[in-house]
A and B are shown apart, each in its own frame.
Chain A
């Protein structure tokens, strides 16, 4: 039934662990007298702090049916493979002796819970605290109604791009500046219809269409304006012979041993790659100045950056006046972004490894996809690039569930 609802699901950096299989750690615990609780805890926090186990509550209050609640306390960590009497630090043993405690070994969860489900399961062993992430990229903690609306709307536009009639025939990509609801670039797979010249001409057309959008600066109907832009600027009017979604089956090219038709194909022109190219072309067009570091801002590189912060920087530039790049139409509110920093991309299908890494390189901030790519997807299906710690940039990944799309895809 859930599938019938529109929803946005965050795809985390770590593969989900079954809540019942979280790693545990052994600790010494003991029943204590409630009247000693404060003193004992204060003492234990001094002599045996729970260093890497801050998510654990020191006290466990057990409600016994029909009786008074019982209080248990964590004394200290218990190392594996050793007898309990030998491993307790002397200071803790003093506490045990002075309060006549009877220590026992019990299991607690080793890591802080990442989800409510994990937390509920942890508390069955020993109570822990749970802090939903609040520090990260906008959207991980949920979307406001307004933001959700915009996400669904952009995703639906992306799906329209990928459709021919009722069928989804290619992958499509939409790069969006979420701050102003502006479409930066749109593209479809071009693995079969690629031709250098056509492709370049199209990019140019695309610029000018986009530029018109900038001059009519009204924020109010931005999205509506963009929809018109989309239908004009999309590759729909071009010869469309792509009939497979290349991110789903990126190795198909190597199997063309029988295809003797002339090669107008470029096996790597997946929608995301083409969209990145278009956004770079737009950047060069709007900000023709050299790549001088004086003018190249990285306005929002930290994962904690918020749209609000970006806006502030833009406003500051306006106040300072003269310093910032201006676009050819004379709008002075545009700050040249560093690559796609701060931008979102919408894709019908979860991108393949090549596209997912291209989006890391281009510094996309959030990826929204509608359908998973179980055989070749790199955002949770086969690989999980958003969780590769060594990479120099990390985006947040969301799946946007559109009920009508589930239906289309199944057909």
Chain B
């Protein structure tokens, strides 16, 4: 089991490397269902000029498009997400963590923490489900997911480091020095 985790994270890191080759902030991810890789994604914020195109969002769009093409029902799509495990090289940001909770994903493994934007414990804890009882039936409780950090964190950090050492060529001109965190 443990070795599987590393193998999946290796695939996520491979995606991050592809991002770096395209001069993107190096973050990558894979979605696993029933032990199979069903989608992978890498950060594409620079290419798209859309700063929300994080690796997770890219992979989620691939999955939704695929399942739509396969004619899956809403219930089936929701069930599929609830059986998915995400491996991502950096802690999902607040936006992605919220998105993963909206989709009802089962579990997330991440590499390094994201101390500026992290939504799975660093800044907000969107993965932990709400403990308060629901006030109304109409608005469902926020959904949590199991989340484990620190899987191959040093590899993920090394990628960030080499990316920012070579200088982010896409950073806007008057920009203060970038630290080795995920900046997108």
Enumerate chain A interface residues (CB-CB to B < 8 A).
194-196, 248-268, 273, 276-277, 280, 283-284, 291, 293, 296-298, 301, 338-339, 352-354, 357-358, 360-363, 375-376, 383, 385, 388, 390-392
Pair A250/B72 contact, Cβ less than 8 Å? no
Q: Measured between alpha carbons, how far is A298 from B171 in the docked complex, in Å? A: 9
Pair B102/A250 contact, Cβ less than 8 Å? yes
Pair A358/B183 contact, Cβ less than 8 Å? no
Q: Which residues of A contact B119 (CB under 8 A)?
A: 353, 357
Q: Measured between alpha carbons, how far is A353 from B96 in the docked complex, in Å? A: 10
Can you list 23 A-B contacts (CB < 8 A)?
A196-B68, A249-B139, A251-B101, A252-B140, A254-B103, A261-B73, A261-B74, A262-B68, A262-B71, A262-B72, A262-B73, A263-B76, A263-B77, A266-B64, A268-B57, A284-B48, A291-B46, A297-B173, A339-B49, A352-B98, A353-B95, A361-B184, A376-B142
Q: Which residues of A contact B75 (CB under 8 A)?
A: 256-260
Q: Which residues of A contact B170 (CB under 8 A)?
A: 291, 293, 296
Pair B99/A254 contact, Cβ less than 8 Å? no
Q: Measured between alpha carbons, how far is A260 from B74 in the docked complex, in Å? A: 6
Decide yes or no whether B78 CB sits under 8 A from chain A: yes
Q: How many whole Å from A284's CB to the nearest CB in chain B?
A: 6
Pair B172/A267 contact, Cβ less than 8 Å? no
Decide yes or no whether B50 CB sits under 8 A from chain A: yes
Q: Measured between alpha carbons, how far is A338 from B39 in the docked complex, in Å? A: 30
Given contacts A254-B82, A268-B60, A357-B98, 7 further A-B contacts (CB under 8 A): A253-B78, A259-B75, A353-B95, A354-B98, A358-B52, A360-B117, A391-B116
Pair B103/A267 contact, Cβ less than 8 Å? yes
From known contacts A253-B103, A339-B49, infer whether A358 and B67 are also in contact, taking CB-CB under 8 Å. no
Total interface residues on B, CB under 8 Å, equals 58
Decide yes or no whether B126 CB sits under 8 A from chain A: yes
Residue of B with least CB distance to A287: B49
Q: How many whole Å from A397's CB to the nearest CB in chain B?
A: 16
Pair B139/A354 contact, Cβ less than 8 Å? no
Decide yes or no whether B146 CB sits under 8 A from chain A: no
Pair B77/A251 contact, Cβ less than 8 Å? no
From known contacts A256-B75, A263-B76, A390-B123, infer whether A251 and B48 are also in contact, taking CB-CB under 8 Å. no
Most buried by A among B71, B102, B143: B102
Pair B173/A296 contact, Cβ less than 8 Å? yes
Decide yes or no whether B169 CB sits under 8 A from chain A: yes
Q: How many whole Å from A300's CB to the nearest CB in chain B?
A: 10
Q: Which residues of A contact B103 (CB under 8 A)?
A: 253-254, 267-268
Interface of A (DSSP majority class): loop
Residue of A with least CB distance to B71: A262
Enumerate chain B interface residues (CB-CB to A < 8 A).
23, 45-52, 57, 60-61, 64-65, 67-68, 71-79, 81-82, 93-95, 98-99, 101-104, 115-117, 119, 123-124, 126, 138-143, 169-175, 183-184
Q: How many whole Å from B142's CB to the nearest CB in chain A?
A: 6
Pair A362/B143 contact, Cβ less than 8 Å? no
Q: How many whole Å from B108's CB to the nearest CB in chain A?
A: 15
Q: Which residues of A contact B101 (CB under 8 A)?
A: 251
Pair A276/B52 contact, Cβ less than 8 Å? yes
Q: Measured between alpha carbons, how far is A338 from B143 in the docked complex, in Å? A: 34
Q: Measured between alpha carbons, how far is A391 from B182 in the docked complex, in Å? A: 11
Q: Measured between alpha carbons, how far is A263 from B104 in the docked complex, in Å? A: 16
Q: Which residues of B contact A354 (CB under 8 A)?
A: 94-95, 98-99, 102
Pair A256/B99 contact, Cβ less than 8 Å? no
Pair A357/B95 contact, Cβ less than 8 Å? yes
Pair B73/A251 contact, Cβ less than 8 Å? no
From known contacts A268-B60, A268-B99, A297-B173, infer whether A353 and B94 are also in contact, taking CB-CB under 8 Å. yes
Q: Measured between alpha carbons, how far is A353 from B172 in the docked complex, in Å? A: 26
Q: Measured between alpha carbons, how far is A297 from B23 in the docked complex, in Å? A: 18
Q: Measured between alpha carbons, how far is A64 from B92 in the docked complex, in Å? A: 62
Pair A357/B49 contact, Cβ less than 8 Å? no
Pair A296/B93 contact, Cβ less than 8 Å? no
Q: Which residues of B contact A353 (CB under 8 A)?
A: 94-95, 98, 119, 124, 126
Q: Measured between alpha carbons, how far is A313 from B106 in the docked complex, in Å? A: 48
Pair A301/B126 contact, Cβ less than 8 Å? no
Q: Measured between alpha carbons, how far is A335 from B88 in the docked complex, in Å? A: 36
Q: Measured between alpha carbons, how far is A203 from B175 in the docked complex, in Å? A: 31
Q: Measured between alpha carbons, how far is A360 from B65 in the docked complex, in Å? A: 27
Pair B104/A253 contact, Cβ less than 8 Å? yes
Q: How many whole Å from A132's CB to the nearest CB in chain B?
A: 29
Q: How many whole Å from A257's CB to the nearest CB in chain B?
A: 5
Q: Which 3 pairs of residues, A with B, have the shortest CB-CB distance? A: A298-B172, A254-B104, A280-B50
Q: Which residues of A contact B143 (CB under 8 A)?
A: 251, 254
From known contacts A293-B171, A353-B98, A357-B117, infer whether A255 and B140 are also in contact, taking CB-CB under 8 Å. yes
